[in-house]
Amino acid sequence: MANLGRHVLLELYDCDPEKLGDAGSVRHSLMGAAAMAGAHIVTELFHQFAPQGVSGVVVIQESHLAIHTWPEKGYAAVDVFTCGTEMDPSLCIAPILEAFGARRHMVVEIGRGAGLG
């Protein structure tokens, strides 16, 4: 049986710090990636930390996307969690890499709800 959910953990390294530093820009990039992957957006929130860093979450009908950025390290941690078969979370990866100018990345995908049998 397929898992109930797919959870993609995406590590972005050597990004453009300017693209990680502004909540409006981060919001635009993550919402764009969600839309490109066919997500149905329910609601979202993005928070600008001082002196730097952004945290954002997009709740979608298929579960969520989340991002935390460390501009001073050129690093962002992104999660794309989907349930159902209509949305493929891996389709978010390329637009996210491009949006933040990541020169290195790592992806791990974890099945959620595997113990439901």
55: annotated active-site residue? no
> Cβ of residue 117: shortest distance to a copy of itself, in angstroms?
9
Q: Is residue 36 within 8 Å of 65, Cβ to Cβ? A: no
The footprint of a copy of itself on residues 23-82 (CB under 8 A) is 42-43, 45, 47, 49, 55, 57, 59, 61, 63-64, 66, 68, 70, 73, 75, 77, 79, 81
Task: Give, as one character, the DSSP assignment of residue 38.
Answer: T
Rounded to the nearest 10 degrees, how much is the dihedral formed by the CA atoms of 33, 73, 18, 94? -20
83: annotated active-site residue? yes
CA distance 111 to 116: 11
CA distance 56 to 77: 11
The residue among 47 and 86 lying less far from a copy of itself, judged by its C-beta, is: 47
68: annotated active-site residue? yes
| CA neighbor of 10 nearest in space, from 59, 71, 87, 65 | 65
Residues that bind a copy of itself (CB under 8 A): 4-5, 7, 9, 11, 13, 42-43, 45, 47, 49, 55, 57, 59, 61, 63-64, 66, 68, 70, 73, 75, 77, 79, 81, 83, 104, 106, 108, 110, 112-116
**Catalytic residue set:** 63, 68, 83
